[in-house]
Structure 1
């Protein structure tokens, strides 16, 4: 018998209904007072009295019990007021924490920072935004109001999915925390400056990229521009669909498992085959299409007479089968928000799968992909049954609940049309060697956008695939000035053009052009391999 998902209380059953009402008029409860006036200078004398400020539930456009400011502390070194508060739950066992930083000289803009993973800890929003160039001034130091939250709950390290047992906390994480933090912050801003922002932006990566797309798609009147880097927009499919990784590594009783050395043998062969297909021997595979045509994992098969169990430099039949399974689109058999396909891995395109994103030490000690699968399946889908075994569970046994979870967490088929209609702009990026959220996942999303908007898409969304960039790491750690680019597009109607990314790896001193998909950077045959000016964006 399939365990029934545990609901918190009768009160929480009403949360979803209240949510539907709120989303129906998603920004009817937008920022109090509208956009008006010039902000005054803020001083320490203005900051301290914000402690104890109470925000009415009516000022927050989703179900809450209002909010309270816990601390308001003047940071003399940074010349800003750091405000921390709690958005009170309706029935959940936890309140939601948020942070707003109010500069002395405000430029009239807000920048909301996204979280990461399962969230669960406060984003203070005082440092660099995702993929910001190292050494460049923070948004806060430039006069922006910055804000963040804990994503709607407090959790343990890693992928602690226990919060998913409570409906309100689950909805907070899946889609509500973005709006709740925005509205609470606007109330604080209005109280501090007497005016509210002229412009509102959101930047994040991974889960923060998902939250950026939530901001645009679900709350289009609240935001003017967003940047979504390697977004986890379809969290449910990403997590549940990772059963494909589990089953690949468990082939033939675990004979398919790829240890770190075997995985490195694959990626070393990929780079040996594909690195120079873009004209540059630089350790980056830029011509991914050509790489897919020429790389053959069968070339790594152990020769006759060599026992695969004794070496890591060649692969067994089962290990090759596992690698092929991982690098093939997988039909889950359950449609989640209009999609049933878990996108293939980029293992044969340069994704490294080492360290935090590796496959673990053995078939029953798998890595990150299994962790997220197990967490969401155990708590969000199955409701934490006492006899849980993530290595044997079949998602098809929970098909209906998986679809319900998709409605909570995913933004896959929530249209950006209203955001476009209100003048919103989107910068979307992904790295070609992301070994946690495969780049093919975002390619699926972009293809769906092309189907929906056709030639209109380019007028409000720019998509960049960055060769060598992984999940915040990789052979080329992209850092680019996304904030200026999105501001110029939103406020001056100057679309991004000629963006350049710098490699943020320690000791690296190289740049590459950020090419709009489907183009990629081809070395022109002259000039420094380390300079963006030596490359041309091409499509063939």
Structure 2
């Protein structure tokens, strides 16, 4: 269909081989003012909603023209199924699971290529991918699995290891919070108590008290959760934490060894509960014990654990996740990870062809831990060496930013930065992020390349020029 602006919107289905599998629904938007480039946009969560490509790309600053308005062919899909949130029922079908894991990216790309050749009589000069969360995972897959198809990708807080995160991290949360009758569970008041204590201790460690914790390593060195211990260690109310609750938060804040590797990695990353996570959106839940099936009132991390364990791993929708033992299901977890995880993805062909990747994470992200993204980056350092890696990947951390929201609701010029690097050879330098929160809209901070962090050095606290990227505490 054509709209009043001259664009042609093509919506369709890619039919499955298995008649029991759902189709991949896609949209490709062909602009009248085509700039010779294509931009594929990634989804979120377990996908299940059509990414139309009509709006802004992930973390694009407010007020800018959309990519389609700028002349990009834009495209997206529903990942190969329909469903809200973390509805994992599609995982009962092999083809639907494969489409979600990797194949819908390639199939949607190829449809768009065919449509561009038909409409414009030529292929795009450049093909980009921008995504956040699951979309960031899809960006990594685009670069690693289909390097011939993409020139540059933006991977924001990628859920590149869905199986490990949901089985490993979710399992840690479930056991920490709900074992022993829920002795370790923190109700909303206790969660707020902990978060307020962390911010009271750490907000000023970066040189300014602004509701943003930038010096996260300094925070880990300074904050002591035992300062909140109830007298005698028993649970005496919402003004303190019991020994069991302190044990639970320590578990959540620690790296764990799963006991066997999933897609080449056995380490479950720590969560930022002691250096900036607020658990205000991805909450620790409002019930002391989970229900079977889940009620929706449990901790967010338990919810994703439940989604993976039931419909994807055991393929028993009635399975009780609290009885799940990962070691007993290690073979099946490995099989699922082959479909869903990009932990050990090979980026060498992407790098060799001149592809570029921007990788980011929020340092206050309680949906996908920043430690998880850092672990991915460090594996690339080990594989390529720092100098070679710097030639095609840049990793930036965003203080105060969680999973699409936060005390500093970060936005930055990802697409023009990526294009300058790919098309002009101009590597990113001195990037700036802008806050999209209504109360603090327009304040800026430097976007620091890992392992540097943002330190206030004097001047207007709302301007990036008053801050410096530093590696020292």
TM over 0.5: yes
Residue in 2 that maps onto 1:132? 60
- The correspondence for 1:193, drawn from 112, 120, 137, is 120
User: Would you say 1:446 and 2:377 are equivalent positions?
Assistant: yes
Partner-residue secondary structure (3-state), 2:38: strand
User: Would you say 1:103 and 2:31 are equivalent positions?
Assistant: yes
Spell out structure 1 runs of 4+ moving beyond 6 A: none
- 1:218-257 matches, within 5 Å, as 218-241=145-168, 242-257=170-185
Most deviating of 503-512 and 471-480: 503-512
- The correspondence for 2:197, drawn from 264, 269, 275, is 269
- The correspondence for 2:289, drawn from 354, 363, 377, is 363
Residue in 2 that maps onto 1:285? 213
TM-score by length of 2: 0.96
Please state how far the C-alpha of 1:249 moved relative to its aligned partner: 0.2
Please state how far the C-alpha of 1:341 moved relative to its aligned partner: 1.0
User: Would you say 1:530 and 2:462 are equivalent positions?
Assistant: yes
- The correspondence for 1:482, drawn from 414, 418, 424, is 414
Please state how far the C-alpha of 1:79 moved relative to its aligned partner: 2.9
Partner-residue secondary structure (3-state), 1:347: coil
Residue in 2 that maps onto 1:324? 250
Please state how far the C-alpha of 1:186 moved relative to its aligned partner: 0.7
**8 Å Cα contact 1:353/1:359 also seen in 2:** no
**8 Å Cα contact 2:282/2:367 also seen in 1:** no
**8 Å Cα contact 1:357/1:436 also seen in 2:** no
- The correspondence for 1:457, drawn from 389, 393, 396, is 389
Residue in 2 that maps onto 1:183? 110
Question: How many angstroms apart in 2 are the aligned matches of 1:358 and 1:170?
Answer: 28
- The correspondence for 2:73, drawn from 118, 138, 145, is 145
- The correspondence for 1:406, drawn from 328, 337, 346, is 337
Residue in 2 that maps onto 1:165? 92
Please state how far the C-alpha of 1:135 moved relative to its aligned partner: 0.8
Residue in 2 that maps onto 1:75? 3
Partner-residue secondary structure (3-state), 2:69: helix
What is the RMSD computed on CA atoms of the aligned residues? 1.2
Question: How many angstroms apart in 1 are the aligned matches of 2:228 and 2:302?
Answer: 25
**8 Å Cα contact 2:234/2:243 also seen in 1:** no
Could you say which structure has the larger radius of gyration?
Answer: 1
Please state how far the C-alpha of 1:267 moved relative to its aligned partner: 1.2
**8 Å Cα contact 2:59/2:412 also seen in 1:** yes
Partner-residue secondary structure (3-state), 2:322: coil
**8 Å Cα contact 2:34/2:72 also seen in 1:** yes
Please state how far the C-alpha of 1:113 moved relative to its aligned partner: 0.4
User: Would you say 1:258 and 2:186 are equivalent positions?
Assistant: yes
Question: How many angstroms apart in 1 are the aligned matches of 2:317 and 2:300?
Answer: 22
Residue in 2 that maps onto 1:8? none
Question: How many angstroms apart in 1 are the aligned matches of 2:239 and 2:353?
Answer: 55
Question: How many angstroms apart in 2 are the aligned matches of 1:493 and 1:261?
Answer: 51
Question: How many angstroms apart in 1 are the aligned matches of 2:323 and 2:14?
Answer: 39
User: Would you say 1:113 and 2:44 are equivalent positions?
Assistant: no
Residues 388-430 of structure 1: per-residue CA shift (max 9 Å, x gap): 2122221221110001101110011011111000100000000
Question: How many angstroms apart in 2 are the aligned matches of 1:505 and 1:420?
Answer: 36
Please state how far the C-alpha of 1:307 moved relative to its aligned partner: 6.2
Partner-residue secondary structure (3-state), 1:533: helix
Residues 106-136 of structure 1: per-residue CA shift (max 9 Å, x gap): 0000010000001011110100111000111
Please state how far the C-alpha of 1:385 moved relative to its aligned partner: 6.1
Residue in 2 that maps onto 1:4? none
Please state how far the C-alpha of 1:252 moved relative to its aligned partner: 2.5
Please state how far the C-alpha of 1:94 moved relative to its aligned partner: 1.2
Question: How many angstroms apart in 2 are the aligned matches of 1:347 and 1:502?
Answer: 24
Q: How many residues align?
A: 462
Partner-residue secondary structure (3-state), 1:142: coil
User: Would you say 1:314 and 2:245 are equivalent positions?
Assistant: no
**Structure 1: any 5+ residue segments left out of the alignment?**
1-72
Residues 138-185 of structure 1: per-residue CA shift (max 9 Å, x gap): 110011100000011122x22111111111110000011110000011
**8 Å Cα contact 2:21/2:95 also seen in 1:** no
User: Would you say 1:511 and 2:462 are equivalent positions?
Assistant: no
Question: How many angstroms apart in 2 are the aligned matches of 1:254 and 1:288?
Answer: 29
**Structure 2: any 5+ residue segments left out of the alignment?**
291-296
Please state how far the C-alpha of 1:313 moved relative to its aligned partner: 2.2
TM-score by length of 1: 0.84
- The correspondence for 1:498, drawn from 430, 444, 459, is 430
Please state how far the C-alpha of 1:303 moved relative to its aligned partner: 2.6
Question: How many angstroms apart in 1 are the aligned matches of 2:255 and 2:445?
Answer: 30
Residue in 1 that maps onto 2:294? none
Question: How many angstroms apart in 2 are the aligned matches of 1:219 and 1:145?
Answer: 19
Question: How many angstroms apart in 2 are the aligned matches of 1:363 and 1:147?
Answer: 42
Residues 294-347 of structure 1: per-residue CA shift (max 9 Å, x gap): 11100000135x9634x2121011110000011111111231111011101100
